[in-house]
Amino acid sequence: MTRLTGRCAVVTGGSRGIGRAIAAALAEAGAAVAIVARGAEALEAAAAAIERDGRRVVALACDVTDPRQVADLPARMRTTLGDPDILVNNAGGADTHKLLDHPDELWERMLRLNLTSVYWVTKALLPSLVASGRGRLINVASTAAKSGARYAAAYAAAKHGVLGLTRSLALELASSAVTVNAVCPGYADTPMTAESIERIVSRSGRSADDARRALESTSPQGRLIRGEEVAALVCFLAGEAAAGITGQAINVDGGAVMT
């Protein structure tokens, strides 16, 4: 198992789903972890659940779509856990709509949440990652960043942007010993996917079981990915053994997308 003792990590969108699994795995590996999300109550509950057996976890309520709140993160980190050397940009969400009559508000919101927030948080915390001499920047993208997604043009476009940002920063930061990578989950067994199932049911009239099976069938393994599987990859990329891996976008999707 990757050991991260003495490391300090920030995980955005860390109160539920894949983000919570990542935060738990990093803490289990020995890192001090700050989980960031908008909902203070859910955030505190997640931190309390993860923080056991000597693990150090703090909850930092912050809306990553608000640049003023993001600008305060470095100082808040410094007064709680210290300067981070691991940043996991996981916050995001997917709303769908056909492009015909696509609401401009939805387009702008999806880009702000899934792409622009990554820019803001990275810009705020990157000086700490560089100064550490062993920084790890890991962006949670999606297989939609490689293959597109029907009725999810805004979400897929934003996630494609995350890959472009990942690759550009990997080149820019290569000489600083900071690695920059993306992980690309397929459909995962998370609250976000549960919300997608609810939308399918409401718009198609299919049962929830049918909708879930339709998502499962997108994977050759015939199942949804577990958050812990994504978290294991993130932990590896955060460790010393992954020092030579940068600029990569690695799928965790049961073989659905092979690029």
Residue 119 bears catalytic tag:
no
CA 144 to chain centre: 14
Listing DSSP states for the chain in one string gives ----TT-EEEEETTTSHHHHHHHHHHHHTT-EEEEEES-HHHHHHHHHHH--TT--EEEEE--TT-HHHHHTHHHHHHHHT---SEEEE-------B-STT--HHHHHHHHIIIIIHHHHHHHHHHHHHHHHTS-EEEEE--THHHH--TTBHHHHHHHHHHHHHHHHHHHHTGGGT-EEEEEEE-SBSSHHHHHHHHHHHHHH---HHHHHHHHHTTSTT-SPBPHHHHHHHHHHHHSGGGTT--S-EEEESTTS---
Specify which residues 34 forms β-bridges with: 10, 58
In order of 129, 225, 257, the CA distances from 253 in angstroms are: 29, 6, 7
Identified catalytic residue from 119, 151, 155, 187: 155
As a whole number of Å, the end-to-end CA separation of the chain is 27
Catalytic annotation, residues: 155
